[in-house]
């Protein structure tokens, strides 16, 4: 959710998701509902922003 909120606009969300390897369909559907951050974070985003992605960023695990 925080990544989506940080990217703000639909164009930016679409561009960043494509850059991260999301399919065009997933990126379009998330960008179309750009202000529904929690909804998008639970729907299709979990396939793109995986645990491995956050491990590469150095985000500590809470579990």
User: Which tokens hold the place of 21?
Assistant: 């390897």
Section 14-37 average pLDDT: 85
The string of DSSP letters for 17-56 reads HHHTT--HHHHHHHHHTTT-HHHHHHTTGGGTS-HHHHHH
Longest dimension (CA), the chain: 34
- Do the beta carbons of residue 14 and residue 28 sit within 8 Å? yes
How confident is the model over 30-51, as pLDDT tens digits?
Answer: 888 877 777 777 766 777 878 8
pTM for the structure as a whole? 0.67
């Amino acid at each position: 959710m925080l990544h989506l909120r940080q990217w703000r606009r639909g164009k930016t969300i679409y561009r960043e998701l494509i850059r991260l390897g999301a399919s065009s369909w997933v990126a379009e559907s998330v960008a179309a509902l750009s202000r529904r951050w929690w909804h998008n974070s639970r729907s299709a985003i979990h396939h793109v922003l995986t645990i491995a992605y956050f491990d590469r960023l150095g985000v500590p695990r809470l579990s």
